[in-house]
Amino acid sequence: MTLSQLDRFKKILEKKLIEMRPSLRARDAIAIVRSADMLDEIQLAAARELATRNLERDARVSHDVRAALDRIDQGCFGTCLNCEEEIGPRRLAAVPWAPLCIGCQEQSDNARRGGMEADDHRFADAA
């Protein structure tokens, strides 16, 4: 990868990190006021659940984005953390903060699908 490519990825990642910040507002949604109305309670609980899931997903992505920026600084950006092969350029274009190559990512997804996070994964894809 050339320096100008790296620089472009760095800008994309830094922009992404800034974009993630509005999710701070979602934190307020979790501290939603109590209501005496039963139906409101249910809807508020659903809203809290959704806000919490979104926060968790955002937290995972911003963690990955920060790690990718670190890898740029360390000169190992674009290398799979698992098998140390190069991550495909199309994958990096789609998910610049991807820590794994597509093969390792699929393995990791399959492993997770068998576990408790299966529902969470489907949810994240649908959102």
Task: Check binding of 80 to Zn ion (CB under 5 A).
Answer: yes
CB of 82 to Zn ion, least distance (A): 4
- Residue of 46, 59, 83, 111 that binds Zn ion (CB under 5 A): 83
Per-residue contact track with Zn ion, 84 to 113, x per CB under 5 A?
-----------------x--x---------
CB of 64 to Zn ion, least distance (A): 15
Which CB sits closer to Zn ion, 13 or 80? 80
What residues have CB less than 8 Å from 71, skipping those under 6 apart?
A: 77, 78, 79
Q: DSSP for 88-99?
A: PHHHHHH-TT--
The one-character DSSP state at 86 is B
Q: How many CA atoms lie within 13 A of 106 on its CB side?
A: 4
Kindly list the residues in this chain that would bind Zn ion in the complex (CB under 5 A): 80, 82-83, 101, 104
